[in-house]
Chains A and B, each alone.
Chain A
């Protein structure tokens, strides 16, 4: 499995100083990748991420992860995700609970 840094053409040193930032709006939401910060270490990355990504809208939690530690699939493997046959039976779209969960959230 390649590391994300290699996919992006970044050196190990650069990738160790680039942190992906994930914010969670409420405790019921998933953490979402909102951008990156440059920092010498994770503690500093959190300090900087707080102002870059929460200065307008408040959130409840932040994660940071260095790019050097993130494993990724390769874009060359995109075929991996394509379906060769009809998979609509997996959607479960006719279940009411499924419809409730996948319904777009009103903001």
Chain B
């Protein structure tokens, strides 16, 4: 599934590498946040399930980093652990602390719906190695969608108190979820062969899907977008720095070690 044999114009190659890094960063950072629930989830079954989801997201991140490294050189571990906060391209949504279980489930739902739209688009592209990778990853994402939606439905319709907290969680997550569809630098170079559906149209598809679920459980759609957050161009909250300090501490203690 390597991309190295394909030949690209330099500006297309750079844009594609940036795009793959953005996808990988989303998966790595949200995977790390999910993993922080291990041992702390509200019941043992969900603890195991979310821990599996965390492992899978980080596994997907590795695959996308490797494809990016096909284009730019370097190795996946180095890209994942060796960069500063401003070099990360993940959406700000993914780096926020877990907060309560309600926020984590709202975020998981919004995130995985967006990821699913993105993977559908990549899987339909003409660049074979990337399309194959997307359809492989998509198989595991189906379960993530089920898990997030089932939790969302139950918490939003259990009691007045739980519904209120889910609405608050949605109000917080929604503006930053829109950032999933921001372009990476050079995105316009990724023509219809590679990313066959424009981001604006992906955003519409995603909105339509999530609104259907949110309305069916009585949650109101918040307005607006968080203007200052631009994860795709490296403008992050301090939360990412804190996360990276912890996530990379072992790797940084000896970057040349073989694991």
Q: How far is the CA of A47 from the CA of B43 in the complex (A)?
A: 13
Check: A3 CB closer than 8 A to any chain B CB.
no
Selecting from B142-150, B171-179, B192-200, the interface stretch reads B142-150
Check: A52 CB closer than 8 A to any chain B CB.
yes
Closest chain A residue, CB of each to CB of B55: A55
Q: Which single member of A37, A40, A50, A52 contacts B154 (CB below 8 Å)?
A: A40
Q: Is the CB of A47 within 8 A of B147?
A: yes
Q: Is the CB of A52 within 8 A of B45?
A: yes
Give every chain B residue within 8 A of A55 (Cβ-Cβ).
48, 52
Q: How far is the CA of A55 from the CA of B146 in the complex (A)?
A: 15
Give every chain A residue within 8 A of B143 (Cβ-Cβ).
50-51
Interface residues as binary, B138-160 with A (CB distance below 8 Å gives 1, 0 otherwise): 00000100110010001000000
Q: Is the CB of A52 within 8 A of B48?
A: yes
Q: Give the shortest distance, in Å, between B159 (CB) and chain A (any CB).
A: 12
Check: A31 CB closer than 8 A to any chain B CB.
no
Check: B168 CB closer than 8 A to any chain A CB.
no
Check: A39 CB closer than 8 A to any chain B CB.
yes
Closest chain A residue, CB of each to CB of B147: A47
Q: Give the shortest distance, in Å, between B146 (CB) and chain A (any CB).
A: 5
Check: B213 CB closer than 8 A to any chain A CB.
no
Given contacts A37-B45, A39-B45, A50-B143, contact A44 B52 (CB under 8 A): no
Q: Is the CB of A51 within 8 A of B45?
A: yes
Q: Which single member of B43, B52, B150, B154 contacts A51 (CB below 8 Å)?
A: B52
Count A/B pairs, Cβ under 8 Å. 28
Q: Is the CB of A51 within 8 A of B48?
A: yes
Total interface residues on B, CB under 8 Å, equals 12
Q: Is the CB of B49 within 8 A of A47?
A: yes
Check: A48 CB closer than 8 A to any chain B CB.
yes
Check: A43 CB closer than 8 A to any chain B CB.
yes
Closest chain A residue, CB of each to CB of B43: A38
Given contacts A47-B146, A51-B52, contact A38 B154 (CB under 8 A): no
Q: Which single member of B44, B48, B150 contacts A44 (CB below 8 Å)?
A: B150
Q: How far is the CA of A60 from the CA of B49 in the complex (A)?
A: 19
Give every chain B residue within 8 A of A51 (Cβ-Cβ).
45, 48-49, 52, 143
Check: B46 CB closer than 8 A to any chain A CB.
yes
Give every chain A residue within 8 A of B146 (Cβ-Cβ).
47
Q: Which of B45, B146, B154 counts the most A-chain CB atoms under 10 A from its CB?
A: B45
Q: Is the CB of A38 within 8 A of B45?
A: yes
Interface residues as binary, A41-82 with B (CB distance below 8 Å gives 1, 0 otherwise): 001100110111001000000000000000000000000000
Q: How far is the CA of A43 from the CA of B146 in the complex (A)?
A: 10
B-contacting residues of A (Cβ < 8 Å)? 37-40, 43-44, 47-48, 50-52, 55
- Beyond known contacts A48-B45, A50-B49, A52-B45: 20 more, CB 8 A cutoff: A37-B45, A38-B43, A38-B44, A38-B45, A39-B45, A40-B154, A43-B150, A44-B150, A44-B154, A47-B146, A47-B147, A47-B150, A48-B46, A48-B49, A50-B143, A51-B45, A51-B48, A51-B52, A52-B49, A55-B52
